[in-house]
Amino acid sequence: MIFSEYPYQRPDLEKFKKDMEENIALVGENESLETEIKAIKRINELDDEVSTMFVLVSIRNSLNTKDEFYEKEQEFLDENGPVLRQYSHMLTQKMLKSKHREGLEKEFGSLLFKQAEIEQKTFKPEIIPYLQKENKLSTEYSKLTAGAQIEFDGGIYNLSQMAPFLTHKDRETRHRAQLAVSRFFADNEKEIDRIYDDMVKVRTEIAHKLGYENYVQLGYDRLGRTDYDYKDVKTYRDQIYADIVPLVTELTARKAKRLGIENPKSYDLALSFLSGNPTPKGNRQWMVERASKMYHEMSAETGDFFDFMIEHELLELDAKPGKSGGGYCTYIPKYRSPFIFANFNGTSHDADVLTHEAGHAFQIYSSRDLDPAYRWPTMEAAEIHSMSMEFLAWPWIDSFFEEDTAKYKFNHLAGSVSFLPYGVLVDEFQHEVYLHPEMTPDERKATWRNIEKKYRPSLDYGDDAFMEKGTYWFRQGHIFGSPFYYIDYTLAQVCAFQFWVASQENHAKAFENYLALCKLGGSKSFLGLVDAAHLKNPFVSGTVKEIVKNIKAYLDSVDDTKL
């Protein structure tokens, strides 16, 4: 079957609950180890069946947020998803207390139990109404931003479709495009303020009901972080501030010189070259054909994977009206299918998102035979696979960018480095928000702008008064839907840079390490995977400084004024 033929049927939740209760009753009671293992495997099967329907609804709702059927199904799942979480909670409670725990750890691995101990702290049945409210607020934000209709130069565009205007060679076009996007957010300011204010309040309430002092540690625990905490993250952010912010300031000055602009404004920073940013030289079909050739040449494993994606039509790449913004990869358990969602817009981002999401998809494809708990790594580790795949694609990148290849490579590496201060800015902002949930919307905006000045000192919004007051974060969906997740991109980027360094020296060996990492799935913790892949720990002081040396050397070797 192709993806559009994957059948959806609203799950019979009463039957699911009954089946789950019957099997959970066999765990941790006076049963044999074999009975417990069999029951847990059956529970995994039941969970996969329901998860498949949840994922199909989520995908189809994001493909067309105006589809009334899937909108109603999404509402149904937002309402019932938190109710079903209690069964996972019940199971892990019983597994942790089982007299056969040692045997279960041998069968399912000890990390599962470590994660279960954390998961136990993040749920109680009495928080279900609050989780339902949180889901509804997240869906509300997604729908509001997906429904953007921005009038610009005679056309009407969504947020994704505005990207080419924001990187336009004509400075005034970029300027007007930024103001048009800002106007959309300004028009919806009160609504977004209300949504986020309610989110902060409900998450703080959940934290208090679970016995946490505030949402910060709960946010970490929800993400399954087992081997580092907010203190480690602060040490890491401090490294970015000390070792990356000065480099990015230097790169911004180089960019201004290339563009011939004395005092660059925020709307200038998305453009990298006066001759225009590097762009793929063909349409979606052309891009997919070249990606197919690349993945077949990269390895037998990546070739098989990409054939599977094409054969089952699991690539949804075009920007369309009513389609949610952004890009993601998810997994449909019953059909053993990764799924890639993106919004191509004719910029270099198309190649980035295709290789990035393919990295996620290849990882889950490589580890789909593992126990369901280990198919995906925790989020910060998952981003290593995606960001590293962007760099592992470099030997083939000329087939996408042709005469723009040197320009793309410089821009990709410089852009990846320049992203790090922004990534930690998002993280530091969220720590401040959840440590001080009583802040008003205006105080949050002032907090964002202050931290923004710390990590992006050369950023000047010019006459965009709305952005100047600290609202850029309105467009960062992760802040709304996945609190504390965003730092994961930067941690993974530091790891991916190490794959870039290794692939410059020996691509085959670097890919071999990468493949081994993909096959491990989530069977080890973040730092366990970092160690297994022979990577340096980003939380250790000095790691960032050491890695950035190679990147700076490469960027300094390029005469970017000629690009």
Say what the pLDDT of residue 83 is: 85
| pLDDT score for 133 | 97
Integer Cα distance of 356 and 349 in angstroms: 10
Between CA 297 and CA 438 the distance in angstroms is 55
Output DSSP code: residue 4. G
* The residue type at 457: P
* Average pLDDT of span 140-163: 94
Candidates 196, 197, 100, 203; CA nearest to 141 is 196
| 402 phi-psi bin (left φ>0, alpha ψ -120 to 50, beta other) | left
Q: What is the pTM of this model?
A: 0.88
With a cut of 80, say whether residue 29 has pLDDT above it. no
Under the banding of pLDDT at 50, 70 and 90, the label for residue 379 is confident
**What pLDDT digit, counting tens, does each position of 53-75 carry?**
999 999 999 999 999 999 999 99
DSSP 237-295: HHHIIIIIHHHHHHHHHHHHHHHT-SS--GGGTT---TT-----SS-HHHHHHHHHHHH
Fold of the domain spanning 225-281+355-563 = Neurolysin; domain 3 (1.10.1370)
Which range, of 269-273, 287-291, 548-552, 553-557, averages the lowest pLDDT? Answer: 269-273
Residue 37: its pLDDT value, please? Answer: 97
Total residue length of the chain: 563
pLDDT of residue 325: 84
Beta strands per DSSP E along 308-416: 315-318, 328-332, 337-344
Instruction: Please tell me the predicted confidence (pLDDT) of residue 89.
Output: 87
Angle between helices 441-455 and 405-435 in degrees, nearest 10: 140
Report the pLDDT value the prediction gives residue 380, as an integer from 0 to 100: 83
Confidence at 476, pLDDT banded by 50, 70, 90: very high
Burial 452-466 (b: 16+ CB within 10 A, else e): beebbebbebbebeb
Indicate if the pLDDT at residue 450 is higher than 90.
Answer: yes
Every domain of the chain and the residues it spans: 3-122, 225-281+355-563
3-state secondary structure of 217: helix
Of 123, 11, 131, 128, the C-alpha closest to 76 is 11
Confidence of residue 446 (pLDDT cuts 50, 70, 90): very high
Residue in the structure block whose two tokens are 């000055």: 253
Q: Tell me what pLDDT residue 242 has.
A: 97
Pairing verdict, β 150-152 and 155-157: antiparallel
Question: What pLDDT shows up at residue 186?
Answer: 98
In terms of Cβ atoms closer than 10 Å to its own Cβ (0-12, 13-18, 19+), residue 122 is: buried
Backbone angles phi, psi at 470, to 5 degrees: 100, 50
What is the predicted pLDDT for the residue at 525?
Answer: 94
Contacts with 519 (C-beta within 8 Å, 6 or more apart), sequence order:
366, 367
Give the pLDDT score at 152.
97
Q: Rounded to whole angstroms, how far apart are CA atoms 246 and 253? A: 11
Torsion, Cα 50 356 516 117, to 10 degrees, reads -50
Query: By C-alpha distance, which of 152, 145, 134 is closest to 187?
Result: 145
The mean per-residue pLDDT over the stretch 546-561 comes to 95
